[in-house]
Chain A
């Protein structure tokens, strides 16, 4: 079996190498048969990656400890689903997952575009082949999941922190996002190599970019929820370097998704879009480098690995080559029009881009600051949450406001009459919301108050857009309200899907502001029968004390607590701690009391237990509005799906546009 897995990897490497070399030769010499052969090799590499992945998955499920990887990351007592999740729980397996996704995306992107844009795809194939070759080479020569050993009786097990249902979804989601950014990058570079000045590469990759961006966003929210329910400190994002590594490419991709609209509509920002797609892709590689190099201290803590220098070299080559390519093609990337007014739709997209990129770069600065400060001053210095929170407010609040302003501004130039018509009601709603919140004491946090006022403004503009659009459709087509609404969204999926995504960002802002600016934390040592109170809640540790029982792979200890709110019974909660004998490790199990009416969570964390006295050290957190963050995740997904959903009308329109225009090739 390990030989089969290794052979599949070697075959995959060969196919990808062939796709890179033969594809480049074919594109340069314009040999169609050779180009077809190269693209077929790229598609076949996916099959080889699938075989290698099946071999590893089978070894995991069979507990075949002759595979060093299986012995290092699983044990016989590990539940089946977590055994399977060990596929991406270690370095070699996660690299194989990366290769599997990369070859899968590559095959899909080539199959879907090679008929409609053959000259573009002929350059995309060697780029995807070259990128895949790097990962296949790492798996074959540096970090193979198929190395073998004399099988031990049992494996080392999986880190208890990773024994969580979120482990099944969070890493694959992030990988689908990171790797997905390869497709727009390859098409952008392919477009430059083919000397095309049109927007064909954007049209070909818009959905791929959206898919990658959606997975990155959902993956981060899943990770945040995992941290919230499992890690037991009551937070969901710690500005840790590895968390930042996922945030940065998402921010760059968000900027890119907005700025490509300006290029499609006005033929502007061509160089900027190229730079953004390079930035997003390079940051996705940089994130992978961070998790594997051990170069920075992280809560996700990855020890030093021989793979780091390979990644660093790869990032340097990719960034240098792609920037050199952009510079060499500057003459064909000139804008077709220019900005006519600073108050226009395209200008608002520009401001949005500047703020997103500024936020992305300040996060990057914070991540690399320890390395730079050590290189310059000899003393490593770090920046903590205050640094990031400062810039989140400085750039995030104007971004929030722009989400309401931008979509309602006219292209080219906004008129005073148009501004009044669009923004009168949202402004009144926002000011009224701010005044009411101030009256109810929300002024204790000025950034929180501003965030809520801006959120009300944005939500009002979104509602206004939906109402106006539906009313107009009802008036012209004579449809009932519900039909008018659905056909409005169905006929403008990209636009209204975008509004739904904006609504999700508003919910996210409300959740973050509420749970971070207005939360309450108490901590105390409780003996059985004692109580602790915070923000109207009182919890009482049951007089029966600490309870323990043996589960499949852990000893589970729980502290039964009765909860009252303002003197009224409010249920029971059981925070506790699990001990994993195979891994010789404990983990705290936070209990969450979710109240939808009060829109807040009561979180209880047992930090320490004294077995003799049964005393527990209890942390009690009250988190207002934190659930808006998780609701935002569903709304975000819904908005993305609306924007992604295939639209036959749009396809026909685009096909006609590119047939009429022809391929603008400046050879």
Chain B
């Protein structure tokens, strides 16, 4: 662009400023995301909506329509019971890494339906050492 001032320069500056303002407003009003935690850190955030990640340690008997299982830290032994009232993803099974949104209350993490994602370990795994 030319170095002298012109209306276009002003319009561009305003557009950029507008975009930044929208961004700042969004982050101010909507809080800029939720914590992503593993089970060991969950107890410090009771009642707060978080994304919980970990490895499925074992399945528990379902309660009504809610599937239940123990989720533990990927590299650790701390675990929490998770209740999830929705269809489990196809890849879900014991030993698999998952993440799910929800809240921790009364010793149980209640997952938000439709938010569980699983890791698919057969793709792009690191080279095996034999």
Contacts and interface: CB of A to CB of B under 8 A. Distances in A.
A52 interface: no
Interface string A339-382: 11110000100110011001000100000011001000001111
Interface residues of B, number: 49
6 contacts: A268-B1, A305-B125, A351-B12, A355-B19, A370-B36, A391-B23
B47 interface: no
B2 A338 contact: yes
Interface string B84-112: 00111011010001010100000000000
A32 interface: no
Nearest to B99: A297
Given A89-B123, A354-B19, A149 B130 contact: yes
A269 B1 contact: yes
A335 B8 contact: no
A90 interface: yes
B117 A147 contact: no
A500 to B, nearest CB: 28
A596 interface: no
A558 interface: no
Nearest to B120: A301
A395 B130 CA distance: 51
A200 interface: no
Interface string B53-66: 10000000000010
Contacts of A319: none
A390 interface: yes
A342 B7 contact: yes
Contacts of B87: 588, 605, 607-608, 617, 619
Contacts of A240: 117
B2 A335 contact: yes
B33 A303 contact: no
B83 interface: no
A292 interface: yes
Given A297-B53, A297-B99, A354-B15, A338 B4 contact: yes
B124 A302 contact: yes
A553 interface: no
B51 interface: yes
B19 A303 contact: no
Interface string B1-45: 110101111111001100100110010001011111100000000
Contacts of B91: 161, 585
Contacts of A72: 122, 125, 128
A481 interface: no
Contacts of A68: 128, 130
A354 B12 contact: yes
B2 A339 contact: yes
Interface in A59-100: 68, 72-73, 89-92, 94
A301 B19 contact: no
A617 B65 CA distance: 10
Contacts of A161: 90-91, 120
Interface stretch (A152-160, A207-215, A432-440): A152-160
Contact of A381 (B7, B32, B118): B32
Given A303-B121, A306-B126, A369 B11 contact: no
A300 B120 contact: yes
A231 B89 CA distance: 9
Contact of B90 (A143, A160, A394): A160
A373 B130 contact: no
A342 B7 CA distance: 6
B11 A347 contact: yes
**Range for the number of chain A residues in contact with chain B:** 35 or more
B120 A339 contact: no
A518 interface: no
A93 B35 CA distance: 36
Interface of B: 1-2, 4, 6-12, 15-16, 19, 22-23, 26, 30, 32-37, 51, 53, 65, 86-88, 90-91, 93, 97, 99, 101, 114, 117-128, 130
Contacts, number: 160
Closest 9 CB pairs of A and B: A338-B2, A607-B87, A301-B119, A339-B8, A381-B33, A302-B124, A342-B11, A383-B33, A380-B36
A605 B86 CA distance: 12
A350 B2 CA distance: 14
Given A240-B117, A588-B87, A617-B87, 14 more contacts: A297-B53, A300-B120, A300-B123, A339-B8, A342-B10, A369-B32, A373-B33, A381-B34, A382-B36, A390-B26, A390-B30, A525-B65, A583-B122, A585-B90
A292 B1 contact: no
Contacts of A607: 86-88
A301 B97 contact: yes
A97 B14 CA distance: 45
Contacts of A587: 90
Indicate the member of A304, A358, A605 with the most B CB atoms within 10 Å.
Answer: A358
B117 A335 contact: no
A532 to B, nearest CB: 15
A156 B124 contact: no
Contacts of B127: 91-92, 143, 147, 306
Contact of A303 (B9, B15, B124): B124
B6 A340 contact: yes
Contacts of B11: 342, 347, 351
A304 B23 CA distance: 32
Residue among A94, A300, A583 facing the most chain B CB atoms (10 A cut-off): A300
B117 A387 contact: no
Contact of B8 (A297, A347, A379): A347
B122 A158 contact: yes
Contacts of A339: 1-2, 6, 8-9
A382 B35 CA distance: 6
A342 to B, nearest CB: 4
A338 B124 contact: no
A588 B7 contact: no
A208 to B, nearest CB: 27
Most buried by B among A157, A335, A585: A585
Contacts of A147: 127
